[in-house]
Amino acid sequence: MNSVTLNNGAEMPILGFGVYQIPPEETQAAVEAALAAGYRHLDTAAAYGNEEELGAAVKASGIAREELFITTKLWVQHAPTGSVEDETRRAFESSLTRLGLDYVDLYLIHQPLGDYYSEWRAMQELNKEGRARSIGVSNFHSDRLVDLIDHNEIVPAVNQIETHPFHQRTGEQELMRGRGVQIESWGPFAEGRNNLFTDPLLSEIAEAHGKSVAQVVLRWLIQRDVVVIPKSVRPERMAENFDVFDFALTEEQMGRIATLDTDESLFFDHRDPEMVSRLGGHRVD
Ligand SMILES: NC(=O)c1ccc[n+]([C@@H]2O[C@H](COP(=O)([O-])OP(=O)(O)OC[C@H]3O[C@@H](n4cnc5c(N)ncnc54)[C@H](OP(=O)(O)O)[C@@H]3O)[C@@H](O)[C@H]2O)c1
């Protein structure tokens, strides 16, 4: 399995399977199919509401725990009069119980909202205890990431951010590389927005390789050393998305894909006050 080495020496498969927006009642079957297709890296979150079903699929597969790389995420914790560090530990225990695991390979702060410095302190302890083998963040803009690094002991191993052909994050990736943080893409297909799957430039490159647009996009990210976790509920697409290691894009093709960058989110801005309030006020558990 092709992997990247994180800043603590841990190996992370560069291609995984994401389960955002897979309804709980469909998650066990989807994850079982993904494992059968060869995926060994799974990405969920407390906020997705399907940790339990993902854990059931892992158990049913009989695959040895050490062969799997499992990520989950901490939702924004609320403890106006109490301790966010305690709440973080409680939330972590709940995730582990739902997953049916005694450790996760990667635990991420899902959003740069609320008292995430306290969350990070608790996660540093969980990391030292070996229960969160690696710890990282998600949706952190470079300023927030650098601030967290500069005022804490452990450097996040990963920052999982929206990254696809229309929002390429090359500058952020460069900064992260300099700080020892691995970039991980969420929404590698931009969830199909902007007509990604029929984009003329991507289609032309796909045709030249006898591959699909989805495969070209994943290959382009992997060649940039970006970890990818495409989501699909369809076994044939899971197999298609996994079959990206038998061809390579040329420098010229990489350069043409670079021209698609708009340097803007296709979803929302994590700095928009309305979103900050809406997401930050959302309760998960
Ligand atoms: N940290 C965060 O805040 C955050 C936010 C969003 C996502 N994520 C993570 O990133 C993962 C991936 O992102 P995402 O799920 O938002 O979107 P995505 O992977 O960019 O796109 C998923 C969409 O593409 C379709 N699709 C998948 N493979 C395809 C193929 N080969 N051909 C055509 N269509 C295909 C899927 O449909 P079907 O299912 O019908 O095949 C689904 O509609 C998530 O599952 C989650 O684990 C994290």
Distances in whole angstroms, Cα of residue 228 to Cα of each of 145, 224, 233: 20, 11, 16
The alpha carbon dihedral of 14, 184, 163, 279 has a sign of positive
231, 266, 284: residue to mutate for ligand 1 pocket, most atoms within 8 A of CB: 231
Q: Are 186 and 161 in contact (CB under 8 A)?
A: yes
Among left, alpha and beta (phi > 0; psi -120 to 50; other), residue 130 is left
| Residue 268, both tokens | 């929302």
Average pLDDT per block of 10 residues along the chain, 285 residues long: 94 98 98 98 98 98 98 94 95 98 98 97 98 98 98 98 98 98 98 98 98 98 98 98 98 98 95 95 89
In the three-class reduction of DSSP (H, G, I as helix; E, B as strand; rest coil), residue 107 is classed as strand
Q: Name the residue at shortest CA distance from atom 29 of ligand 1.
A: 237
What are the beta bridge partners of residue 11? 5
- 139 CB near ligand 1 (under 6 Å): yes
The 8-class DSSP code of residue 15 comes to B
How far is residue 43's CA from residue 30's CA, in Å, rounded to a whole number?
A: 13
How far is residue 271's CA from residue 132's CA, in Å, rounded to a whole number?
A: 28
How far is residue 93's CA from residue 46's CA, in Å, rounded to a whole number?
A: 11
